[in-house]
Structure 1
Amino acid sequence: MKILRSLLAAVLLGNLAGAMAADAPALYTQHCASCHGASRLGGMGPALLPESLERLKRKDAVATIRDGRAATQMPAFAATLSATEIDALAGWIYSPVSPAPAWSEADIRASRVEPYPPGSLPDARQGAVAKADPMNLFIVVEAGDHHVSVLDGDRMERIHRFPSRYALHGGPKFTPDGRYVFFASRDGWVSKFDIWNLKVVAEVRAGLNARNAAVSSDGRYVAVANYLPGNLVIFDADLKLLKVIDGRNLKGDASSRLSAVYDAAPRKSFIVGLKDLPEIWEVSYDPAAQPFYEGYVHDYKMGEALPTPGFLNARRTVLDVPLDDFFFTQDYTNVVGASREGRGQVINLDVRRAIAALDLPGMPHLGSGISWLRDGRRVVASTNLKDAQVSVIDMQSWQTVATIPTLGPGFFLRSHENSPYAWVDSMMSPTARDTLQVIDKQSLKVVHEVRPEPGKTFAHVEFDRRGSYVIASLMEKEGALIFLDAKTFKEIKRLPASKPIGKYNLNNKIQRSEGTSH
């Protein structure tokens, strides 16, 4: 026994000595800085900050350093670095940068690139896009190798595929004519893609860790919510910087990360969520609107118009707790939200206060909520990230109508105006993540299950524009897009895809279908 303890002690001391010998900062400077930036803020490669890597497990980071990443410029270091050095590097990139990195307005402006200035590409749909129904195209985000695909929804075929920035987040957002789509990456890059010409036409880095972007309903403005630095950044449609609003409270003595920004089309404004402060902001882009005279955001005086034409000063709704997840009523009068603790509330944006509390146990995922008419009354349904259930709530009384048991905690819920069914996954479940369940929207009963590949994650349904079929994601590195008949639930076709995490139909997004998140 003493010999065994001695051997174990020797091994532990050897590992400790090896780790101490591995100078992670020096290794980073020698092998990584040229691509990822001296301060780990990114360059040719993505930012290597804890905030940017929160979706990447430590073991996967070790594997990437060791084996490289196919179809990218990330090389394999297995033959160059020892296992101890690789592990030290992985630890280094997950450590905080001190002092915290900054990203100024000058940095934003300097980052902007425009490969195709306005007017340099044809103002008509080209090639395969010209032959397709422009409103039945799909944009597919493939996280496995950081690419985006464009699908012809009528032919069920991929017509284009191109590399994206690292770790797109928050879903693509479209201009109302369907020509442009904007992507926000985890490390703050915003890309403008011309669907008609299949070209990335402009990019800018809005921050160091972005949550999502929103495009105004008139297509003139793009807003980006950042965790790092905590601010709202507003661009024109060509991604030229217009305004930066810090995530501070009215007194300026507390700050917050911005968790999300949404376009409220009927209100002609952006709605902004704050992660760390109990507030919601509304920023108007309506040139005909009257100025907001109270509850204004800290750096605007009462009644003062924003310096950009079409923007007025913003106002805030003060809450008792921060809301971490949002759903909006179709007219965007009410925000249906939940706190990190699962406390649900209905916030009216006109009176700017809570008007109802919701009975929602667990951790509801209202950001993936959908609505429909049931017995003449509109209901909203939400998945739950903690409990195996879907909650259905009456949107007049705000009372829970039903709690539908599911196979496990789920992330996405999707439907369509022309379909009697809603589809839900159980992707947060360790045992049922491979199964989609189909719910009858009137009886509120599960009527079917789809399990094409046992043991493999199967989630995120998107309907075509007519509601005749759905595409679901087999979310594996060597995954697939699986087309299913929306009435019979039978498989129609498969297309290979590298961990497809989201699919977005132009018509459903632009028309703000009640069956998909906004």
Structure 2
Amino acid sequence: MNIKRRGLKMAAAVLFLMGLSACASVGPLRGTGDLGMIIERSSGKVAVIDTTTHKKLWTVGGLGDLSHASVVYSRDGRYGYVFGRDGGLSKVDLLTGRLAGRVMQAGNSIGGAISQDGAMVAVSNYTPGGVRIFDAKTLAPIADIPAVYDGGKRSKTVGLVDAPGNKFVFTLYDAGQIWVVDMSDRKHPAIRKFKNIGKMPYDGMITPDGRTYIAGLFGEDGLAKLDLWNLDKGVQRILNGYGRGQKVLPVYKMPHLEGWAAAGELLFLPAVGHHEVLVVDRRTWREVAHIPTHGQPVFVVSRPDGRQVWVNFAHPLNDVVQVIDVKSLKVIKSLELGPGVLHLEFTPRGEQVWISVRDRNVVDVFDTRTFKKIAVLPVDKPSGIFMTDRAGKIGL
């Protein structure tokens, strides 16, 4: 008995030491609430960053073509799912700085989403057109939804977001449609199709409450709105003819509608082909103001408290970020950061904003109250910045 007990104690000691060794190899125990990921677009890598210390924790490579990459997070914020332009879906462990899984699921993809329960990851594809859905733990395939229309044509899919009830919503760029996919039953996806929504729906967003999906239209002025609580009403057109009477400028970079800003009852969104931000009343879905800006907006992002909206711009005026005061609906600050400002992201409570400046190979960090620069991180050709608080938000 004594020999057996001594053996058990020795085994327990060995396991304890192994555990300490494993912890030492990945650093101290920590949460992920102040972490994020930055896309290093030219090298196929992501940087895992700590927003408290303003430092890089890890650089994770082998992620393929990240020229238009985006990230969603697992429910616990530990894993980031990276959607590469080459069709690769990669799973990155933020706590160990390792690639936890990767599948080549298509030839050309354009973003993705994670289901409300965190169990499924969906990818939107250009080639072949459609959406593919995978198990979040294993990356095993669950469903393949080809975007087929008009008797066999295949459309690019864009604007993919998650919606309450384990639904995914996206648009068909070539077909002018919105599809709602209900994945409540994994084995039998239920698809609802809405046709003739407008020409060339190039991106989409969902309101923070998960109720309203809006598709931007590149082929005509206006937006398509779908009330997910009342699908039988179908798609409604809003903001028809905005910018009428103005000369539409060449569009060098498409606005990103998932960057639309919601502040109270107002939505702030980029006007395609115009140097202005449109302000829309969410109660009536009518334009209440338009704010002249430095250039054509790409991302229009609200500070978490809704008091400020930060805007970056398309080439060739992509060297400036402007700040709009929501109370006055006026630009109150312009920051000149250098060419290649590609993305901006707030920390969860909005005291900091992180801004990628590709052509300087840095990410600048600003205090959003004083507008003072508080840190500069060297990053190789940075583009998208994604904080882990996205894990708890609908449509991000």
TM superposition shift of 1:420: 1.9
User: Partner letter of residue 458 of structure 1?
Assistant: V
Specify which of 367, 375, 388 is matched with residue 258 of structure 2: 367
Specify which of 15, 21, 33 is matched with residue 135 of structure 1: 33
Alignment of 1:451-490 (within 5 A): 451-453=336-338, 456-476=339-359, 478-490=360-372
Q: Counterparts of 2:167 and 2:24 in 1: how far apart (Å)?
A: 33
1:19-43 deviation line (CA, Å, top 9, x unaligned): xxxxxxxxxxxxxxxxxxxxxxxxx
User: Partner letter of residue 263 of structure 1?
Assistant: D
Q: 1:451 to 1:133 in 2, by over 3 A?
A: farther
* Number of the residue aligned with 1:152: 50
* Number of the residue aligned with 1:190: 89
Alignment of 1:236-315 (within 5 A): 236-237=135-136, 238-249=138-149, 252-264=151-163, 266-287=164-185, 308=187, 311-315=188-192
1:217-255 deviation line (CA, Å, top 9, x unaligned): 212111112111112211112111122122113x63433
* Number of the residue aligned with 2:120: 221
User: Partner letter of residue 410 of structure 1?
Assistant: P
Asked if the contact 2:42–2:67 (Cα under 8 Å) also holds between the matched residues in 1, the reply is no
Secondary structure, aligned partner of 2:101: strand
Secondary structure, aligned partner of 1:233: strand
Residue 355, structure 1, aligned to residue 240, structure 2:
no
Asked if the contact 1:382–1:391 (Cα under 8 Å) also holds between the matched residues in 2, the reply is yes
Secondary structure, aligned partner of 2:235: strand
Gaps (5+ residues) in structure 1?
1-120, 288-305
Q: 1:125 to 1:324 in 2, by over 3 A?
A: farther
Asked if the contact 2:263–2:306 (Cα under 8 Å) also holds between the matched residues in 1, the reply is no
Asked if the contact 2:355–2:365 (Cα under 8 Å) also holds between the matched residues in 1, the reply is yes
Specify which of 292, 295, 302 is matched with residue 405 of structure 1: 292
* Number of the residue aligned with 1:174: 73
Q: Counterparts of 1:131 and 1:236 in 2: how far apart (Å)?
A: 27
TM superposition shift of 1:459: 4.1
1:247-276 deviation line (CA, Å, top 9, x unaligned): 113x63433122242111x23201121111
Q: 1:440 to 1:130 in 2, by over 3 A?
A: farther
User: Partner letter of residue 204 of structure 2?
Assistant: F
Q: Counterparts of 1:277 and 1:133 in 2: how far apart (Å)?
A: 44
Residue 502, structure 1, aligned to residue 389, structure 2:
no
Q: Which of the two has higher C-alpha Rg?
A: 1
1:477-500 deviation line (CA, Å, top 9, x unaligned): x51011111101011110111121
TM superposition shift of 1:333: 2.5
TM superposition shift of 1:354: 2.2
TM superposition shift of 1:199: 1.4
Residue 317, structure 1, aligned to residue 191, structure 2:
no
Q: 1:422 to 1:191 in 2, by over 3 A?
A: same
* Number of the residue aligned with 2:216: 338
* Number of the residue aligned with 2:7: none
Secondary structure, aligned partner of 2:201: coil
Q: Counterparts of 1:126 and 1:471 in 2: how far apart (Å)?
A: 30
Q: Counterparts of 1:166 and 1:381 in 2: how far apart (Å)?
A: 31
Q: Counterparts of 1:346 and 1:129 in 2: how far apart (Å)?
A: 47
Q: 1:168 to 1:427 in 2, by over 3 A?
A: closer
Q: Counterparts of 2:356 and 2:67 in 1: how far apart (Å)?
A: 16
TM superposition shift of 1:126: 7.4
Secondary structure, aligned partner of 1:186: coil
User: Partner letter of residue 413 of structure 1?
Assistant: V
Secondary structure, aligned partner of 2:100: strand
Asked if the contact 2:324–2:330 (Cα under 8 Å) also holds between the matched residues in 1, the reply is yes
Q: 1:398 to 1:157 in 2, by over 3 A?
A: same
TM superposition shift of 1:170: 4.5
Specify which of 264, 271, 276 is matched with residue 384 of structure 1: 271
Q: 1:129 to 1:510 in 2, by over 3 A?
A: farther
1:193-216 deviation line (CA, Å, top 9, x unaligned): 122222111111111111112111
User: Partner letter of residue 205 of structure 2?
Assistant: F
Q: 1:130 to 1:260 in 2, by over 3 A?
A: farther
TM-score w.r.t. the length of structure 2 is 0.84
Q: Counterparts of 2:23 and 2:184 in 1: how far apart (Å)?
A: 30
Q: 1:268 to 1:242 in 2, by over 3 A?
A: closer
TM superposition shift of 1:168: 5.0
Secondary structure, aligned partner of 1:411: strand
Q: Counterparts of 1:131 and 1:157 in 2: how far apart (Å)?
A: 17
Q: Counterparts of 2:318 and 2:275 in 1: how far apart (Å)?
A: 12
* Number of the residue aligned with 1:18: none
* Number of the residue aligned with 1:441: 326
User: Partner letter of residue 239 of structure 1?
Assistant: L
1:377-407 deviation line (CA, Å, top 9, x unaligned): x111112342110001001111111100001
Gaps (5+ residues) in structure 2?
1-18
TM superposition shift of 1:283: 1.3
Secondary structure, aligned partner of 2:209: coil
Q: 1:168 to 1:218 in 2, by over 3 A?
A: farther
Asked if the contact 2:72–2:82 (Cα under 8 Å) also holds between the matched residues in 1, the reply is yes
Q: 1:272 to 1:165 in 2, by over 3 A?
A: same
Q: Counterparts of 1:133 and 1:168 in 2: how far apart (Å)?
A: 29
Asked if the contact 1:133–1:152 (Cα under 8 Å) also holds between the matched residues in 2, the reply is no
Give RMSD over aligned pairs: 2.4
Bigger relative CO (Cα 8 Å, ≥ 6 apart): 2
TM superposition shift of 1:128: 6.5
Q: 1:131 to 1:343 in 2, by over 3 A?
A: same
Q: Counterparts of 1:500 and 1:323 in 2: how far apart (Å)?
A: 27
Q: Counterparts of 1:154 and 1:219 in 2: how far apart (Å)?
A: 26
Q: 1:183 to 1:129 in 2, by over 3 A?
A: farther
Q: 1:194 to 1:389 in 2, by over 3 A?
A: same
Q: 1:414 to 1:383 in 2, by over 3 A?
A: same
